Amino acid sequence: MKKLILVLMISLMGISVQAQEKKNKNAKYDIEVNGNCDMCKKRIEKAALSVKGVKSAVWHIDHQDLHLVLDENKTTIDQVHEAVAKVGHDTEKIKATDEAYNNLHGCCKFERKQ
Amino acid sequence: MKKQLIISLFLLFSTLLFSQENVTGKITFDDNQPLPGANIYWQNTQIGAVSDDKGNFSIPFTAENTFLVISYVGFQTVTLTITEPKSITQNLEFDNTLDEVTLTKVRKSLQKNYMAAANVQTMTSKELLKAACCNLSESFETNPSIDVNFSDAVSGSRQIRMLGLTSPYILMTEENIPAIRGASQAYGLSFVPGTWVESIQITKGAGSVVNGFESISGQINYEMIKPQDDIPFFLNAYGSTDSRFELNTHFNKKLNDKWATSLFLHGNARVSKNDMNDDSFLDNPIGQQINMINRWQYTDAENGWVSFINFRYMNDEKQTGQVDFDPDRDRGTTNFWGSEINTEKLDISSKIGRVSTEVPWRSFGFQNAFNYHKQNSYFGLNQYDITQRSFYSNLIYNSIISNTLHKIATGLNFTYDQFDEVVNVSDFSRIDNSVGAFFEYTYCNDDDLSYVLGGRIDYHNRLGVFVTPRAHLRYKPFEKTTFRISAGRGKRSANIFAENQQLFASSRQFQILDTGGEIYGLDAEIAWNYGVSYLQGFKVFGKEAEFSVDFYRTDFQNQAIVDVDFSPQEVLFYNLDGKSFANSLQVDLSYEISTHFNVRTAYKYYDVQTDYTIGLVERPLQAKHRFFTNIAYETHVKEKGQQWKFDFTYNWLGKQRLPRTQSNPEEYRLQEFTNPFSVMNAQITRTFSKTFEIYLGAENLGNYQQENAILGSNDPFGSYFDSSMVYAPVFGAMFYTGLRFKIQ
């Protein structure tokens, strides 16, 4: 019986802990994304915005970074990394496949980091 | 009291006049390492600075220069747009090519937009300087999308047209607050001094729903100089051979990093009587105007707040008619024909807006404006008095749906207008009010497609409840190719007397034939506007060129018809019974022949027809064909800012139909159509330094003059007198000169 109460209490606490973890509707992230030109900019931003829950995505060529605002209830930053890598651009976390990279337009073939 | 206030304001400003502000900052490279020895300078000037050991620099800020160039051999040159004194940090990138390339881009004076969904063009302050004189109505002389009519013989004021429709069908807004409407429709443009205006945005066709339901053929918004961007002192003096003199003085003070204020004072006068065509009538009115505005701007960038408060007062007095007319002696008699128009205006407006600091796309704005406009006037034996008290309020909220590709704007408007209007002995006083809600959705994929869907629903005490839908679409298949289509509905109540008051200066009797309608017995005007346009940028011999063609059609479901054809002794007002439309086609070509040498040409075709009592005919005083050319050349800016600017505008107007006068005795008949004619304007500006320039110009260089501008001028109290049929300049060639003095 004691054990049962303990288990119940722990599980209850677990729930309440989870409930307390409030998710940010306008979470801001800056991630590194590599690219070259305005065409890259459009492709990167489009890919990021195609992720449901991403509200704003602005890529800066000079800083090679992507400024994001996303709703954490709907998506995670990892999904953005994946979406951007999928269209051929390396991020700080995920590298694009060689196939995706090779599909990029000539002027977009940025210098890849080793 | 008024005087004291002005004097104390003057004193306040003069003590605060001289202060300088700088743009400061730090130049870095690689990983925020300081870059000493970098060159920092304002583009096309000799004002420069070099970064110190720590990469820091400081350069005097001037409102005139907005492009700050930062360069260092081996690094890519960066050009920043700076509009206010501030602190910046700029990181330079290595230039791998090692070929030094400096890109300079001269800002165009007339900017067509490839991205916006609506057909919007912006006239910058540079464009506005091409016509040095004098007020808003003349600002459009170098813009082919707007036709500026020749001033009517009596009031001397100019009307504008867009898509073949007169200004009541254009929504005019001052910083997005409806401004020239109702009682101020006829002369309002001449109550806005040109030097106050910073830029003008012209939207052809159906406009946005945000500012109301009244616009039919387009929207014109003018932005006035903002206290935060203003220079400490500006002076403009102007004088012309038609004895018109103008003086503009601007004072500005940035009180601290949040508050800035400007005081603009304007005065103009025409002192001597001109009668070039010897018809015993003045070619333009004598009189004077005093006009002043005090603006306050509050900016709190950290928290996203911006606010404006404006106080404005204007007094304008005009006298016209026969040269020998003396108001004290002859008013109300038939000794001599004369007219006086006295207007007083008081405006107070405020704007407050906040951009969310958490997310940049969320913002709200709240605008309020109170206007008082009083006109007392008489035209011969006709008396016309109108006073309008208005209150306008607009609340707008901007945000996004799911992401920044889907933007929304929504909000509420409230308008209250109290008119005290007396025509001779008839009282037409009334109160109008309306409340409405709008919603506008904008989709833009940041690439080839964008569209705007807007709608509003309004309740108006006379017009009832109605819906106003509007839509715009832009497709940009290639970098320099843009297609647009738009459609929209507009509804308005015509202020038939205020809008047609030039007809008081005739022997025409005013007759309103309908009685069942909501306003003056007439129904509200309802029209649909549809448009398509194509814009193409290209290069010829390596120089930029732009070609555009647009077609618009306005279809009236109902219109308050102004019929001057039924009889030369009458003007009839009645509801449209049949068709009324305006087709407009405009073909534009602009070309930069060489750097600083631009040519802009336009051909315009208007087919504007209405079912009058005499059948479906062209609207009178509207040229079917028009041709326009503007040539602008400027020399390179030298060391101290010295420069020459040359500007030439040519307008050709095809024949125009004149109102019917066949029933008059032969000596009082006009031909059916006018002859085609052309008008040329030119201006030369010499800039001596950053602080001083003079200009010299001429209007109507070819000295074209309308013959018989006033019908029956020999017998102004007889039944054939009509001064409303002006289609060409009355005054011959006019020369002017002036100077501008600035303290940066």
Q: Does B360 lie at the interface with A, CB-CB under 8 angstroms?
A: yes
**Which chain B residues are closer than 8 Å to A37 by Cβ?**
none
Residues 6+ apart with CB under 8 A from B160: B137, B140, B146, B147, B148, B149, B166, B167, B170, B189
Q: What is the mean pLDDT of the segment spanning B492-500? A: 94
**Which chain A residues are closer than 8 Å to B93 by Cβ?**
62
Tell me, what's the pLDDT at A1?
62
CA angle B340, B345, B348 (to 5 degrees): 175
What's the pLDDT tens digit per position in B606-663? 999 999 999 999 999 999 999 999 999 999 888 888 999 999 999 999 999 999 999 9
Q: What is the mean pLDDT of the segment spanning B137-156? A: 83
Residue of B nearest to A41 (CA): B446
What is the CATH number that goes with domain B223-265+274-331+345-743? 2.40.170.20
Which of these, B370, B73, B84, B96, lies nearest to B229 by C-alpha position?
B84
> Does an H or E element contain B240, and which?
strand B233-240
> Does an H or E element contain B438, and which?
strand B430-444
Structure tokens at B506: 């005739």
Q: What is the mean pLDDT of the segment spanning B170-187? A: 93
- Confidence band of B511 (pLDDT split at 50, 70, 90): very high
Q: Does A25 lie at the interface with B, CB-CB under 8 angstroms?
A: no
Q: Does B479 lie at the interface with A, CB-CB under 8 angstroms?
A: no
With a pLDDT cut of 70, the percent of chain B lying above it is 93
Is the confidence at residue B555, as pLDDT, over 50? yes
- Confidence band of B18 (pLDDT split at 50, 70, 90): very low
Tell me, what's the pLDDT at B14?
39
What residue spans define the domains of chain B? 2-92, 223-265+274-331+345-743
Count contacts between A and B (CB, < 8 Å). 31
What's the pLDDT tens digit per position in B423-435? 999 999 999 999 9
* CATH number of residue A55's parent domain: 3.30.70.100
Best B404, B443, B444, B448 member to test A by mutation, with max A CBs in 10 Å, is: B404
**Which chain B residues are closer than 8 Å to A49 by Cβ?**
403-405
Q: Does A70 lie at the interface with B, CB-CB under 8 angstroms?
A: no
Strand locations in B84-143, DSSP E?
87-92, 110-112, 120-123
CA distance B537 to chain A (A): 19
Strand B430-444 relative to strand B426-427, pairing: unpaired
Q: What is the mean pLDDT of the segment spanning B164-183? A: 93
Best B403, B446, B476, B479 member to test A by mutation, with max A CBs in 10 Å, is: B403
Tell me, what's the pLDDT at A50?
93
Higher-confidence residue of B6 and B413: namely: B413
Is the confidence at residue A114, as pLDDT, over 70? no
Whether B2-92 and B223-265+274-331+345-743 share one fold: the answer is no
For residues B80 and B729, what is the distance between their CA atoms, to the nearest angstrom?
Answer: 46
Is the confidence at residue B207, as pLDDT, over 50? yes
Domain span including residue A79: 24-108
Residue of B nearest to A62 (CA): B93
Q: What is the mean pLDDT of the segment spanning B680-703? A: 94
What secondary structure, in 3-state letters, does B465-477 show? Answer: EEEEEEEEEEEEE
The answer to whether B557 touches B523, Cβ cutoff 8 Å, is no
Residue of B nearest to A47 (CA): B445
**DSSP state, B134?**
S
**Which chain A residues are closer than 8 Å to B360 by Cβ?**
56
The answer to whether B137 touches B193, Cβ cutoff 8 Å, is no
**Which chain B residues are closer than 8 Å to A56 by Cβ?**
359-361, 400, 403-404
Is the confidence at residue B251, as pLDDT, over 80? yes
Which of these, B487, B479, B434, lies nearest to B457 by C-alpha position?
B434
**Which chain A residues are closer than 8 Å to B358 by Cβ?**
26
* Distance in angstroms between the alpha carbons of the first and the last residue of chain A: 59
> Given an 8 Å threshold on Cβ–Cβ distance, is A56 in contact with B360?
yes
CA angle B97, B98, B100 (to 5 degrees): 110
CA distance B116 to chain A (A): 17
> Given an 8 Å threshold on Cβ–Cβ distance, is A56 in contact with B358?
no
- Confidence band of B104 (pLDDT split at 50, 70, 90): very low
- In CATH terms, B2-92 corresponds, of 3.40.47.10, 3.40.50.1820, 2.60.40.4130, 3.90.650.10, to 2.60.40.4130
Q: Does A55 lie at the interface with B, CB-CB under 8 angstroms?
A: yes
What's the pLDDT tens digit per position in B696-726? 999 999 999 998 889 999 999 999 999 999 9
Domain count along chain A: 1
CA distance B394 to chain A (A): 27
Helices and strands of chain A, counted as H and E runs: 4, 3
Is the confidence at residue B98, as pLDDT, over 50? no
Q: Does A56 lie at the interface with B, CB-CB under 8 angstroms?
A: yes
Residue of B nearest to A57 (CA): B404
- Confidence band of A9 (pLDDT split at 50, 70, 90): low
> Given an 8 Å threshold on Cβ–Cβ distance, is A49 in contact with B359?
no
**Which chain A residues are closer than 8 Å to B447 by Cβ?**
42, 46
CA distance A98 to chain B (A): 26
User: Minimum mean pLDDT among B149-163, B222-236, B645-659: which range?
Assistant: B149-163
Tell me, what's the pLDDT at B131?
76
For residues A97 and B647, what is the distance between their CA atoms, to the nearest angstrom?
Answer: 58
> Given an 8 Å threshold on Cβ–Cβ distance, is A56 in contact with B359?
yes
Residue A58 covered by a domain: yes
> Given an 8 Å threshold on Cβ–Cβ distance, is B402 in contact with A56?
no
- Confidence band of A66 (pLDDT split at 50, 70, 90): very high
Q: What is the mean pLDDT of the segment spanning A77-95? A: 93
> Does an H or E element contain B497, and which?
helix B496-499
With a pLDDT cut of 90, the percent of chain B lying above it is 70
Tell me, what's the pLDDT at B100?
38
User: Minimum mean pLDDT among B93-97, B104-108, B537-541: which range?
Assistant: B104-108
- Confidence band of B20 (pLDDT split at 50, 70, 90): very low
> Given an 8 Å threshold on Cβ–Cβ distance, is B358 in contact with A62?
no
What's the pLDDT tens digit per position in B439-460? 999 999 877 899 999 999 999 9
> Given an 8 Å threshold on Cβ–Cβ distance, is B446 in contact with A42?
yes
**Which chain B residues are closer than 8 Å to A57 by Cβ?**
403-404
**Which chain A residues are closer than 8 Å to B359 by Cβ?**
26, 55-56, 69
**Which chain B residues are closer than 8 Å to A36 by Cβ?**
none
Q: Does B359 lie at the interface with A, CB-CB under 8 angstroms?
A: yes
CA distance B68 to chain A (A): 18
Residue of B nearest to A38 (CA): B447
The partner residues of B308 in beta bridges, in order of sequence, read B297, B351
The answer to whether A53 touches A71, Cβ cutoff 8 Å, is yes
* Distance in angstroms between the alpha carbons of the first and the last residue of chain B: 32
**DSSP state, A113?**
P
Residue of A nearest to B76 (CA): A62
Is the confidence at residue A34, as pLDDT, over 70? yes
> Given an 8 Å threshold on Cβ–Cβ distance, is B404 in contact with A62?
no
What's the pLDDT tens digit per position in B265-281? 999 999 999 888 889 99
User: Minimum mean pLDDT among A19-33, A70-84, B194-208: which range?
Assistant: A19-33
- Please name the member of B91, B404, B445 whose beta carbon is closest to the beta carbon of A55: B404
Supply the mean pLDDT for chain B: 89
Tell me, what's the pLDDT at A106?
82
